[in-house]
Structure 1
Amino acid sequence: MLKELILKNRSYRRFLERERISRKQLSAWIDLARCSASARNAQSLKYVLVTEEANCEKLFPLLAWAGYLKDWPGPAKGERPAAYLIMLNDREISENYFCDHGIAAQSILLGAVEEGYGGCIIAAVNRKKVSALFELSNRYEVLQVLALGKPDEEVILEEMVNDDYKYWRDERGVHHVPKRALEDLILS
C-alpha cells in the first residue's frame, strides 16, 4: 500500500483546475505533516493556505515550472493548481529547519495522493514577492510552495539510460521521469 502511494506521488504540473480544494482538506493534510518527524522536535514550519481563485492567480506567476521543459511556460488556464500551500519557517521558533520541509512536503503529498489529488513541490519561488503578496512579517521565511489539485496528466517512471536524469514530455504530452536502477544506489 505505501509503495503504491509513493509510485502515484509524482510531481504533477497539470491539474483539473475547476476541482477546488477546501481549506478543511488542506488542513487535514497539514495535520499529517504536523504528526511527522521534526528535527529536534522544534516544529517551526507554518503554512499559508491559498484556495481562493483570485489569490491562486496572483501566486501563479511567482513560481517557476519544470526547468527541463524549456519551451513550456507552465500549466495553462484550466490546468493550473486548485490550491497552494506556502511553506514557511518561523524564525522565532528556530533559524534551522534542517530537513523538516522535505519530510512535511512528502507527508502532505502522500495524503493528497491517497485521496485522489496530487501536487508538485516548487522551490523556484520569488520569495520577496510572495512575502509581499501575503503580507508576511520578516519572522517567516518562505521555503517552498506546494501546488495541489486533481492531476490531469500521465507521469511514467522509466529506467535511466546513460545517466540522463532529465525528465521530458513526449508528443502526446506524457511526462517521463528517468530513475536510476536500485542496484546503482546500493554501494555495499
Structure 2
Amino acid sequence: MLKELVAKSRSYRRFDEAVKISRQTLVGLVDLARLSPSGANMQPLKFYVSADAEKNESIFPTLGWAGYLKEWAGPEAGERPTGYILVLKDKGIAHVAGIDHGIAAQSIMLGAVEKGLGGCFIGNIDRPRLFQVTGLSPDDYEILLVLALGKPIEQVVVDDINENSDVKYWRDASGVHHVPKRTLQDLVVG
C-alpha cells in the first residue's frame, strides 16, 4: 500500500479547479507533518494554509512551475491548485531546519494522494512577493517550500532510464508528463 502511494505521488502541475479543497483538509494534512520526525525534535516548522480562491489567486504568480518546460508558464485558469501549504521555518525556534521540511512535505503529499489529491513541491518562489501576499514577516519566518495541491487532471508516467540518460522531465504530444527515473539496479551499489 505505501509503495502505491509513493508511486502515485508525482509532481502534478494541472488540476481540476472545480474540485475545491477545504481548509480542514489542509489542516489535516499539516497534522501528518506534525507527527513526522524532526531533527533533535526541535519542530521548527510552521505552516500557512490557503483554501481561499482569492488568496490562492494571489499566491499563484509568486511560483515558478516547471523549470525544464521552458515554453510552459504554468497551469492556466481552471487548472490551478485549489489549496496551498507554505512550509515555513520559525526563526525563533531554530537557525536551520535541516531536512525537516522534506520529511514534512513528503508526509503531506502522501496524505494528499491517499485522499485522491495530488500536488507539487515548489522551491522556485518569489519570496519577497509571497511575504507581501500572505502578510507573513521575513523577520519571523523563512519560506522553505510551497506545496500546491488539488485534484490532478494530468497523466504522469515514470520512465526507466539508465545512469547515463537525461533526467529532465518532458511532455509528449498528447500532454502526458514523463518523469525519467533511474532503475533500482542503477541505484543500489555494493
What is the TM-score of this pair, normalised by structure 2? 0.97
The one of 176, 179, 182 equivalent to 1:177 is 179
- Residue 147 in structure 1 maps to residue 148 in structure 2: yes
1:1-188 alignment, distance < 5 Å: 1-137=1-137, 138-161=139-162, 162-188=164-190
**Residue identity in the other structure for 1:54:** E
SS of the aligned residue for 2:48 comes to strand
Residue identity (%): 53
CA distance in 1, matches of 2:132, 2:88: 14
CA distance in 2, matches of 1:123, 1:102: 11
SS of the aligned residue for 2:31 comes to helix
Shift of 1:44: 0.8
Shift of 1:177: 0.4
Shift of 1:163: 2.0
CA distance in 2, matches of 1:153, 1:87: 25
**Residue identity in the other structure for 1:144:** L
The CA RMSD measured in Å over matched residues stands at 0.8
The superposition leaves residues 101-149 of structure 1 with CA deviations (integer Å, 9 ceiling, x where unpaired) of 0000000000000010000000000111111111112111111100000
Shift of 1:97: 0.5
**Residue identity in the other structure for 1:185:** L
Q: Structure 2 unaligned segments of length 5 or more: list them.
A: none
What is the TM-score of this pair, normalised by structure 1? 0.98
SS of the aligned residue for 1:19 comes to coil
The superposition leaves residues 53-112 of structure 1 with CA deviations (integer Å, 9 ceiling, x where unpaired) of 111111111000110001100000000001101110001000110000000000000000
Segments of 4+ in structure 1 off by > 6 A? none
Q: How many residues align?
A: 188
CA distance in 1, matches of 2:64, 2:179: 19
CA distance in 2, matches of 1:61, 1:67: 15
SS of the aligned residue for 2:144 comes to strand
CA distance in 2, matches of 1:82, 1:160: 33
CA distance in 2, matches of 1:178, 1:142: 28
CA distance in 1, matches of 2:33, 2:134: 22
